[in-house]
Amino acid sequence: MSSSSGTRSRGAFAFLVRLAVFLLVFGGFAEVWFRTVMPASIIPDLYQQQPATIYRFDPYGLTVGLNTVGRLCLHGGWWHVNGAGWNSDVQYVSAASRHQRPLIALFGDSYIEGFLSDADKHMDAYLPKMLPGTDSYAFGVSGWYLEQYVAVSRYARQRFQPNVLVIFIGHGDVSDSLRSNGVVDPHWWQIGARGTSFVELPPTAVKSMTRKQLLAKKSALIRYLRYNAQLTLPGMPNASVAQPGAEGGTPGEGGATNAGGSASSAWRGLEPAADFMVSRLCVDNPGTPIVFVSDDARYLSVQDIPRTPLAPDIEAVQVATRSHSQCSFLDTRYAFSRDWAAHHIRFEAADGDHWNAYANGLVARSLADFITQNHFLTKAK
């Protein structure tokens, strides 16, 4: 019995040794593979600035990296965190250091954050070329919504004094701003009902990355499993990975239908909250032109656009802007539809949803023309 038991023990030990060697070799191979052959996605570290409680990226952490998409690690975009903590090839400087150059500030979510296209192909890189003599700074983080832009506009005004504000509006921008809708994030700004109006609700917690999370990001294998394979790993929060959506529609005969078309009157319930946040932007940025830019269906035929309602959140903002003289609204569906009809070049990045570099350039050109036609830079001086 003792001899048989010893044999089994030695066999089990040998198996564990072989298993450990295999895992070590496999882990080493996987690390090399997901760094060179199929680069695993990596994104910069976020931190929450005090006392303004504004998210941005850590300029003292990793400042250059590649975002890839899906299990095949499709190229998303090279990103660059500048000295101010934003994903941009542009170095942001104070108003006094710009030598009277007008500044156009862009506010948005993952579309302006820009991890799905290279940093030198973002709107803040294109606009100064289309509007010579100007600068453009982008303030964007994935998942943001309208109330976040209200808060970040105060940060931008204090530090950079922009001459024109551009707010990119998409699905959920108003509803996600309302804490009463069940979207609660203690690290972000929201609004809540107070009587017949609303009140701003500042963050109640400060977000920071743990040592375990920082160490885990150093492993290409873990990054692949978390960001590319989208697995929930033990002891780690779900990765915030952009997923393909239907905001832009599907190209085809007659264009795409609008996701908001079946709820053409739903905007009415959101308009009071939209008006509160639009009013807040106007009060915080007196006299500054504010342009709201929509992101909705991209492949409608031009003749279908007037009879196709915008998504409810977008339409609520559009209606709210009408009572504020410093605000205007740019519906990008026309630019997308005309360009698609003329060139049939897709607008989506590797994830199938976010704007690619071509779409960034198209929106930048539409915005530059809109700013020029309305003389916003002249009014801002």
| Per-residue pLDDT reduced to its tens digit, 92-131 | 998 888 778 899 999 999 999 999 999 999 999 999 999 9
Average pLDDT over residues 4-13: 66
Q: Between 182 and 353, where is the model more confident?
A: 353
The answer to whether residue 346 scores a pLDDT higher than 50 is: yes
Confidence (pLDDT) at 46: 85
- Give the architecture-level CATH label for domain 80-210+248-380: 3-Layer(aba) Sandwich (3.40)
Confidence (pLDDT) at 235: 59
Residue 26 makes CB contacts below 8 A (sequence gap 6+) with: none
Q: At which residue do the structure tokens 């109006």 appear?
A: 197
- Residue 193 and residue 180: Cα distance in Å, rounded? 8
Residue 314 near residue 171 (C-beta atoms within 8 A): yes
Q: Between 345 and 19, where is the model more confident?
A: 345
- Residue 138 and residue 136: Cα distance in Å, rounded? 7
Average pLDDT over residues 210-237: 81
Domain boundaries, the chain: 80-210+248-380
The answer to whether residue 308 scores a pLDDT higher than 70 is: yes
DSSP three-state, residue 105: strand
pLDDT band at 11 (very low <50, low <70, confident <90, very high): low
The answer to whether residue 353 scores a pLDDT higher than 90 is: yes
Global model pTM greater than 0.85: yes
Q: Of the candidates 149, 199, 163, which has an alpha carbon nearest to the alpha carbon of residue 178?
A: 199
The answer to whether residue 238 scores a pLDDT higher than 60 is: no
- Residue 188 and residue 201: Cα distance in Å, rounded? 9
**Which tokens belong to 230?**
């989208």
pLDDT band at 5 (very low <50, low <70, confident <90, very high): low
